[in-house]
Chain A
Amino acid sequence: MAITITEPAAQHVANFLANRGKGIGLRLGVKTSGCSGMAYVLEFVDILNDDDEVFVDKGISIIVDKKSLVYLNGTELDFVKNGLNEGFEFHNPNTNAECGCGESFSV
């Protein structure tokens, strides 16, 4: 299993990285946010950490730390438009309950 990215998401990430002018890739992660939930992390990456794993899909380096990978394995990152709003969405097969907003989840 691995982490993958859809074509539209890859294009947007490539544009955002080019626009930013620096950065080696995109970090996907999770962090605890109290309650019983976990929240997704989506960040630019400038420096690789020791416990990071790198997946390359459609030309984008996707960086995930080992602890987060347990929760994210098999995840696909998508870019969607919803009316005027647009942004990234995690398609994560590991979740069993997602909060209505899609920003936090539990396993």
Chain B
Amino acid sequence: MALLHIAEPDKSVAPHQHKRAAGIDLGTTNSLVASVRSGSAGILLDQNGQDMLPSIVHYAEHGQVLVGRDAQPFLDTDPLNTLVSVKRLMGKAFDDLKNASLPYELSAHESGLVQIKTRIGSVNAVQASSEILKKLKARAFDSLGGELSGVVITVPAYFDDAQRQGTKDAARIAGLHVLRLLNEPTAAAIAYGLDSGKKGLIAVYDLGGGTFDISILRLQKGVFEVLATGGNAALGGDDFDAVIVQWIIEQSGITHTLSFVEQQQLRQIACLAKQKLSGQKTANIVHQGLKITLNLSREILNELISVLIGKTLRACKRAVKDAQINLLDIVEVVMVGGSTRIPLVRDKVSAYFQQEVLTSIDPDKVVAIGAAIQADILVGNKPDSEMLLLDVLPLSLGLETMGGLVEKVIPRNSTIPVARAQEFTTFKDGQTAMLIHVLQGEREQVKDCRSLARFELTNIPPMAAGAAHIRVTFQVDADGLLSVTAMEKSSSVQAKIEVKPSYGLSDNEVMQMLQASQTFAEQDMATRMLVEQQVEVRRVLENLNAALQKDGVKLLSEKAYDAIKISMKNLSNIALKNDVKAIKNALKSIDKLTEHYASLRMDASIKQALTGKSVDEI
């Protein structure tokens, strides 16, 4: 049973054509999915009423994959097959991580991409992330009545091409249609409606469980530009817990080494006390086994964590400096992440930026909410007057010309998606090939820019130097991914390259993963679509039959009546075959054919309803 939601004026759609979209915050520690229903954005809950899905994937025996709370218990019992924080590995090469202390057996894929050894074989961050996305997708499906047109997934502002592409690949494997990727700080700003507000500079302070990010955004004509990002990938709420545990140990005079379980318990107690102190002045700390009874006041907590907060403020200072802006020009400060609930964090950040900070939306949910709002706009549920938010290109894109110089084709800060073309010519008489070297950066010389890709345009007909017209087109899609096409105009020979990040996956590899993904998602979906269409056919035929019997002869000409009969017969024949497309088309054509009849019926029944009534009654 599909339940209805309230649409914007004149935005109602035909039955079964609802455009439901979701926003996904694919986090390092926790993930969330949100959607706009009846004009309000909210987090979608799971069967147990939980909003957050811990970003944990456990590869169990017999090929079973557990995600979220189901996977959590295996962190202690089977850590090698239980992956946490895979977001940190997204788009990373093995060489990047050789020295990182991770509890897994890592290896390098032939592409250089890092892989984790588990009992089902080597798994990369894309595959593990896709398991998390599948779980969120199932939740969204159930909550939205089985209709999900697309999703917006958020990524950190500092994610590079490889990391963004990896996130998109994970979504593809999970069978999700990605409307676009959105920067996390931008999503938070959208949740507060800042995109429709005044232009100016916005700071987004994001202190989560394990990471800290500060972003400085500039809003201009509905476009958010990331001016600077900074932070610390290993600083967050967990570190606050650790200093509290240290304090507990010192205060209670424990000298012996604690067992792993005792450490875990103390960490939990510390975390609970920290959370309590956001609302009250003191919290009791009790551990019976270790005979600990202490009282932690907010003053002591503040003392303990002020050094850590100081670190975040220094990162803010650097970001402001990098952005080359004046601190006082920042018009809004958005708070994101559970740790920003701590009063001292709010006070210190507020003092540093010299203004009240935005905290009215739950800091754990604000990013997902912003993504949901953006997704709702992208599938077209909002009036056209509401502007589509765009991103800008962070660096100029260009190609190498003679002498090692860079010719810029798309300048930085162009709004994306964008396509620009420029003409080049041959350098030598009879030159039949041309090397296109794609570069990113602001400098003039090739050696100072970042090389993105090289490809060759061959089979240029021999001509005098300068006679060939070679048109090179750069195209950047809404997610910031680039494709370059080169074409010689007289002969139309063409060459094209999609600029894949250095450690990205090739289409083939993604396809393989798609096939290997054990869910048979595509097959299921195809079957489901077919059955749905066949059901729809039955419904249409039944309704039409009933209607024709009632008043078909009365309202329709013989010719029209016969035409409908024939197309009904046709439709029931097509429905027997397993061709979804054909059924869809047949349904569409019968829908069109009967449109006039339906309105005749409506008029007739209105007439009937009005007969014998005076004008005043209606």
Q: Enumerate A80-100 residues with CB–CB distance to B below 8 Å.
A: 80, 82-90, 97, 99-100
Q: Across the two chains, which residue of chain B brings its CB closest to A33?
A: B14
Do residues B543 and A35 form an inter-chain contact, with CB atoms below 8 A?
Answer: yes
Interface assignment of A106: CB less than 8 Å from any CB of chain B: yes
Q: Which of B15, B37, B598, B601 contacts A103 (CB 8 A)?
A: B15
A35–chain B nearest beta-carbon distance, Å: 5
Q: How far is the CA of A86 from the CA of B145 in the complex (A)?
A: 8
Do residues A20 and B39 form an inter-chain contact, with CB atoms below 8 A?
Answer: yes
Q: Which of B539, B598, B610 contacts A34 (CB 8 A)?
A: B598
User: Given A15-B40, A34-B591, A104-B15, do A97 and B142 touch, yes or no (CB 8 Å)?
Assistant: no
Interface assignment of B594: CB less than 8 Å from any CB of chain A: yes
Q: How far is the CA of A101 from the CA of B8 in the complex (A)?
A: 22
Residues of A contacting B145 in the complex (Cβ-Cβ under 8 angstroms) = 85, 87
Interface assignment of B7: CB less than 8 Å from any CB of chain A: yes
B46–chain A nearest beta-carbon distance, Å: 8
Q: Enumerate B263-312 residues with CB–CB distance to A below 8 Å.
A: none
Do residues B606 and A44 form an inter-chain contact, with CB atoms below 8 A?
Answer: no
Q: Which of B3, B47, B547 contacts A106 (CB 8 A)?
A: B547
Do residues B4 and A40 form an inter-chain contact, with CB atoms below 8 A?
Answer: yes
Residues of B contacting A13 in the complex (Cβ-Cβ under 8 angstroms) = 6
Mask of A39-72 contacts with B, CB within 8 angstroms, 1/0? 1111111110000000000000000001100100
B513–chain A nearest beta-carbon distance, Å: 28
Q: Across the two chains, which residue of chain A brings its CB closest to B547?
A: A36
Do residues B602 and A38 form an inter-chain contact, with CB atoms below 8 A?
Answer: yes
Q: How far is the CA of A85 from the CA of B143 in the complex (A)?
A: 4
Q: How many residues of A contact B (CB 8 A)?
A: 47
Do residues A87 and B37 form an inter-chain contact, with CB atoms below 8 A?
Answer: yes
Do residues B40 and A42 form an inter-chain contact, with CB atoms below 8 A?
Answer: no
Name, among B4, B539, B601, the residue most crowded by chain A CB atoms within 10 Å (CB to CB). Answer: B4
Q: How far is the CA of A49 from the CA of B245 in the complex (A)?
A: 66
Name, among B3, B540, B601, the residue most crowded by chain A CB atoms within 10 Å (CB to CB). Answer: B3
Interface assignment of A74: CB less than 8 Å from any CB of chain B: no
Do residues A101 and B39 form an inter-chain contact, with CB atoms below 8 A?
Answer: no
Do residues A44 and B6 form an inter-chain contact, with CB atoms below 8 A?
Answer: yes
Q: Across the two chains, which residue of chain B brings its CB closest to A87?
A: B3
Do residues A34 and B594 form an inter-chain contact, with CB atoms below 8 A?
Answer: yes
Q: How far is the CA of A12 from the CA of B5 in the complex (A)?
A: 11
Residues of B contacting A84 in the complex (Cβ-Cβ under 8 angstroms) = 44-47, 139, 142-143
Interface assignment of A6: CB less than 8 Å from any CB of chain B: no
Interface assignment of B392: CB less than 8 Å from any CB of chain A: no
Q: Across the two chains, which residue of chain A brings its CB closest to B598?
A: A32
Interface assignment of B599: CB less than 8 Å from any CB of chain A: yes
Q: How far is the CA of A86 from the CA of B599 in the complex (A)?
A: 32
User: Given A42-B7, A43-B6, A107-B605, do A37 and B12 touch, yes or no (CB 8 Å)?
Assistant: no
Interface assignment of B1: CB less than 8 Å from any CB of chain A: yes
Q: How far is the CA of A8 from the CA of B135 in the complex (A)?
A: 30
Do residues A16 and B6 form an inter-chain contact, with CB atoms below 8 A?
Answer: yes
Residues of A contacting B256 in the complex (Cβ-Cβ under 8 angstroms) = none
Q: How far is the CA of A89 from the CA of B5 in the complex (A)?
A: 9
Residues of A contacting B139 in the complex (Cβ-Cβ under 8 angstroms) = 84
Q: Which of B4, B9, B598 contacts A45 (CB 8 A)?
A: B9
Interface assignment of A26: CB less than 8 Å from any CB of chain B: yes
Q: How far is the CA of A80 from the CA of B3 in the complex (A)?
A: 8
Q: Which of B5, B143, B602, B618 contacts A88 (CB 8 A)?
A: B5
Q: Which of A35, A70, A86 contacts B605 (CB 8 A)?
A: A70
Q: How far is the CA of A20 from the CA of B3 in the complex (A)?
A: 20
Q: How far is the CA of A85 from the CA of B69 in the complex (A)?
A: 22
Q: Across the two chains, which residue of chain B brings its CB closest to A16?
A: B38
Q: How many residues of B contact A (CB 8 A)?
A: 51
A15–chain B nearest beta-carbon distance, Å: 7
Residues of B contacting A82 in the complex (Cβ-Cβ under 8 angstroms) = 1, 3
Interface assignment of B62: CB less than 8 Å from any CB of chain A: no
Do residues B4 and A89 form an inter-chain contact, with CB atoms below 8 A?
Answer: yes
User: Given A34-B595, A36-B543, do A70 and B12 touch, yes or no (CB 8 Å)?
Assistant: no
Interface assignment of B16: CB less than 8 Å from any CB of chain A: yes
Residues of A contacting B142 in the complex (Cβ-Cβ under 8 angstroms) = 83-85
Do residues A44 and B1 form an inter-chain contact, with CB atoms below 8 A?
Answer: no
Do residues B144 and A12 form an inter-chain contact, with CB atoms below 8 A?
Answer: no
Residues of B contacting A89 in the complex (Cβ-Cβ under 8 angstroms) = 1, 3-4
Residues of B contacting A15 in the complex (Cβ-Cβ under 8 angstroms) = 40
Residues of A contacting B598 in the complex (Cβ-Cβ under 8 angstroms) = 32-38
Q: How far is the CA of A83 from the CA of B3 in the complex (A)?
A: 12
Name, among A27, A32, A67, A107, the residue most crowded by chain B CB atoms within 10 Å (CB to CB). Answer: A32
Residues of B contacting A46 in the complex (Cβ-Cβ under 8 angstroms) = 9
Interface assignment of B609: CB less than 8 Å from any CB of chain A: yes
Do residues A103 and B44 form an inter-chain contact, with CB atoms below 8 A?
Answer: no
Do residues A88 and B4 form an inter-chain contact, with CB atoms below 8 A?
Answer: yes
Interface assignment of B524: CB less than 8 Å from any CB of chain A: no
Do residues B12 and A41 form an inter-chain contact, with CB atoms below 8 A?
Answer: yes
B94–chain A nearest beta-carbon distance, Å: 40
Mask of B34-64 contacts with A, CB within 8 angstroms, 1/0? 0001111000111100000000000000000
Q: Across the two chains, which residue of chain B brings its CB closest to A83?
A: B142
Interface assignment of B2: CB less than 8 Å from any CB of chain A: yes
Residues of B contacting A99 in the complex (Cβ-Cβ under 8 angstroms) = 15, 539, 543
Q: How far is the CA of A104 from the CA of B18 in the complex (A)?
A: 13
Do residues A102 and B1 form an inter-chain contact, with CB atoms below 8 A?
Answer: yes
Q: Across the two chains, which residue of chain B brings its CB closest to A31?
A: B12
A12–chain B nearest beta-carbon distance, Å: 7
Q: Which of A26, A41, A86 contacts B3 (CB 8 A)?
A: A86
Q: How far is the CA of A35 from the CA of B606 in the complex (A)?
A: 18
Give 25 pairs: A residue, B residue, CB < 8 Å, sorted on A: A20-B40, A33-B591, A34-B592, A35-B543, A35-B590, A35-B591, A36-B543, A38-B598, A43-B8, A44-B8, A44-B39, A70-B610, A82-B3, A85-B143, A85-B144, A85-B145, A86-B37, A86-B143, A87-B4, A88-B3, A88-B4, A89-B4, A99-B15, A102-B1, A106-B547
Residues on B lying within 8 angstroms of A by beta carbon are 1-12, 14-16, 37-40, 44-47, 139, 142-145, 535, 539-540, 542-544, 546-547, 590-592, 594-595, 597-599, 601-602, 605-606, 609-610, 618
Residues on A lying within 8 angstroms of B by beta carbon are 12-13, 15-16, 19-20, 26-27, 31-47, 66-67, 70, 80, 82-90, 97, 99-104, 106-107
- 3 tightest A-B CB contacts, nearest first: A87-B3, A34-B591, A36-B547
Task: Give 18 new A-B contacts, CB below 8 A, not counting A70-B610, A88-B4.
Answer: A12-B38, A33-B14, A33-B15, A34-B590, A34-B594, A34-B598, A35-B540, A35-B591, A36-B547, A36-B597, A38-B598, A41-B7, A70-B605, A70-B606, A83-B47, A87-B4, A87-B145, A99-B543
